[in-house]
Amino acid sequence: MQKSLHIDPGKCTGCLQCEMACSYEHTGVINPSKSRIKVFDFEHEGRKVPYTCTQCSEAWCMQSCPVDAIVLDPATGAKVVKEATCVGCKVCTISCPFGTINYMADVGKVQKCDLCGGDPECAKACPTGAITYIDASWTGLDRMRAWAAKANTAAAA
């Protein structure tokens, strides 16, 4: 069973627990600027929205990497950066249409969500359930695809 992160922005309070847990898991320090998940602040709307790599099936980041530093983790489905292989060229950051790959100047490499090997710290740290790790088929992706296919069929008729 493939799992994915599900984000419900309506439940986010902007506490940044997800950012702190992520940065600590990956760097050993609590520093939201080093987090692989970000909480965007839409202050005019009074909303906070967590956002991270969606592990998209197209994986433009992986396809564009000239040194094959982004690989598929078969256990989790995550597209993972092999830090030892990454040369820091940032082509993947340009290729990602969602802006969820970050260049870390202090190490000269890129980073992105790796789903913490199948046990995402951001989801465990979220006190409101705004971030959960659930069966990928429950996230609505298949329902959206079915709707899109139906809309295309109706338009063709």
> What is the DSSP secondary-structure string of 82-106?
-TTT-----HHHHH-TT---EEETT
| pLDDT at position 144 | 58
Query: Residue 149: what pLDDT?
Result: 75
What gap in Å lies between CA 129 and CA 87, rounded to an integer?
36
How is residue 71 written in tokens?
């690989």
pLDDT in tens, the chain (157 residues): 688 999 999 999 999 999 999 999 999 999 999 999 999 999 888 899 999 999 988 899 999 999 999 999 999 999 999 999 999 999 999 999 999 999 999 999 999 999 999 999 999 999 999 999 998 766 555 655 666 677 656 555 5
* Domain covering 3-152, topology: Alpha-Beta Plaits (3.30.70)
Q: What is the pTM of this model?
A: 0.82
Predicted pLDDT at 153: 60
Domain limits, the chain: 3-152
The predicted pLDDT at position 139 comes to 55
Q: Which residues contact 22 (CB under 8 A, 6 or more apart)?
A: 35, 36, 37, 121, 122
Element spanning 151, H or E: helix 141-156
